[in-house]
Amino acid sequence: MNVPIQPTNPPESQEPSTPAGRRTGTSCALVFVGVLVILVVLLGAMIAVTAHKIPRFFSKAKSLAVCQMHLQDSNSESDIAGALARYAKWNHKYPDKLTDLYPTFLNSKSLLHCPADPRPENVVSYEYMKPDINAPGDTVVVVCRHHVMMPDQPPWVLKLLKNGSVVREMPNPADSRSKK
Ligand SMILES: [Zn+2]
């Protein structure tokens, strides 16, 4: 007896899946490439907008670092802190003005000019407050206010203390907002 063979539907898994699978894979890749292109374009636009600001910030940061080395550089004999200390040791008082340090105690007058100061290089950039020989170590002696790191913000301030250390003061963004 012949059992009629029931026409069976081929199971779903045996459906020729390759073309559909390929289609899905291809559209996934297309979406991925599309997203990638959009990201690259956005990134390019962001770089184009900010690129001119980045080197400017780095050159300002470099000026700040060089200025700090003018004030205090423990690896060098040519810094203002060392020159002031040597002057005070020899004269038992501090100089009346920073230019008195040159040439005996400071080997280059250019160290009295901050790289961020736009004025001519022979101009002394630093504010000097002559301390008493017995003043406390944390007395502020030399100040630089030439470092505007961000537009529309007050400058960063470098302060050289009598004990030879340098204090870097950043502006408080809240202060600059409240001043506007
Ligand atoms: Zn400076």
Q: What is the pLDDT of residue 131?
A: 98
Is the pLDDT confidence value at 33 over 80?
yes
Q: What is the pLDDT of residue 142?
A: 98
**Distance from the alpha carbon of residue 114 to the mean position of ligand 1, in angstroms:** 4
Is the domain of 43 the same as that of 82?
no
Q: What is the pLDDT of residue 136?
A: 98
Q: pTM for the full model?
A: 0.70
Is the domain of 120 the same as that of 174?
yes
**Distance from the alpha carbon of residue 95 to the mean position of ligand 1, in angstroms:** 20
* Torsion-angle region of 152 (φ positive above 0: left; ψ -120 to 50: alpha; else: beta): left
Q: What is the pLDDT of residue 180?
A: 43
Is the pLDDT confidence value at 3 over 80?
no
The count of structural domains within the chain is 2
pLDDT digit string, tens, across residues 105-163: 999 999 999 999 999 999 999 999 999 999 999 999 999 999 999 888 999 999 999 99
Is the domain of 59 the same as that of 125?
yes
Is the domain of 46 the same as that of 63?
no
- Quick check: is 4 in a domain? no
- Quick check: is 172 in a domain? yes
Is the domain of 151 the same as that of 92?
yes
Q: How much of the chain exceeds pLDDT 70, in percent?
A: 81
**Distance from the alpha carbon of residue 160 to the mean position of ligand 1, in angstroms:** 11
